[in-house]
Homo-oligomer: A and B are copies of this chain.
């Protein structure tokens, strides 16, 4: 477990999303959306880059900062060779650390940014992650035009990009972090990412409670990144087996972004899911004072279409951050 002695904080956040996310329960909390998910671009890949660029630009705008005020960017996405981030953020002359943590990328980015700020290596860093439903469909499943049938455990890749600026300020202090280990329970169903990632979420959570001496009752909220209904219920069950009752405070961003009428089956997923969930939901709960202690567990499935074609199973990973408002 990593303790961040100087308590770096999330000082500003931004979120950009697509139409379906805007139509969901958190719709009015997102900073910006595109009515047709293209963000005015000719390809969905270019749209995803534009989303990532816009998220960073918005965070700068909201904070009144300029690019030279940002020490480094930690960013990633789901596209092959993480091009949504590298092309999207290209115009900014800021040192760039490219990450691949699959859908856990936002948590991975925030941990590394927090370490750099806490240790005094940078005054301020940005953490970003994004995903786009149509680029993910084309790359991991079928092109959207194909209209493939989805199984009940399938999730809907969120079209969204989120940014968090981490420095000495803010109401959401990062006090502890627990980077995850890859966990492989031999799930091979690419339409059940929740089941593939849930064991990693439970592994990280149980390890955290053990190492920190805390328990779920110490938190107002415990939120996983994108397990969806299926993964949420498996994580709850796995923790219960080990005698840890996560209770009603345990939420999942994949279940918060869409409602039941939106035909997303098990819920939202993708790097953008936890990124915009964190910005539009969890950060807001801290700002409004509704939440003072929370755990955020970014969850990722470390597979590729090729690894599945070659018969490999899907390892999961889950990175944890503890947020505290400092209020009593």
Chain A positions within 8 Å of B, measured between CB atoms, are 2, 43, 45-46, 72, 76, 78-83, 86-87, 89-90, 92-102, 108, 112, 115-116, 118-122, 178-182, 184, 302-307, 310, 312, 315, 317
Measured between beta carbons, the chain B residues less than 8 angstroms from A98 are 99-102, 108, 302, 317
Measured between beta carbons, the chain B residues less than 8 angstroms from A43 are 310
Measured between beta carbons, the chain B residues less than 8 angstroms from A46 are 310
Select which of B81, B86, B180 is within 8 A of A80 by beta carbon: B81
Q: How far is the CA of A46 from the CA of B93 in the complex (A)?
A: 37
Q: Are A306 and B83 in contact (CB under 8 A)?
A: yes
Measured between beta carbons, the chain B residues less than 8 angstroms from A92 are 181
Select which of B76, B89, B307 is within 8 A of A87 by beta carbon: B307
Closest to A82 in B: B100
Select which of B80, B96, B97 is within 8 A of A304 by beta carbon: B80
Q: Are B108 and A115 in contact (CB under 8 A)?
A: no
Question: Given A78-B81, A96-B179, A98-B101, 5 more contacts at CB 8 Å?
Answer: A79-B304, A80-B81, A81-B307, A87-B315, A90-B184
Q: Are A87 and B119 in contact (CB under 8 A)?
A: no
Measured between beta carbons, the chain B residues less than 8 angstroms from A307 are 45, 81, 83, 87
Select which of B45, B108, B118, B315 is within 8 A of A119 by beta carbon: B118
Q: How far is the CA of A43 from the CA of B304 in the complex (A)?
A: 15
Interchain residue pairs A-B with the least CB separation, the first 6? A119-B119, A81-B304, A95-B179, A86-B302, A98-B100, A80-B80
Closest to A81 in B: B304
Q: How far is the CB of A132 from chain B (nearest CB, A)?
A: 13
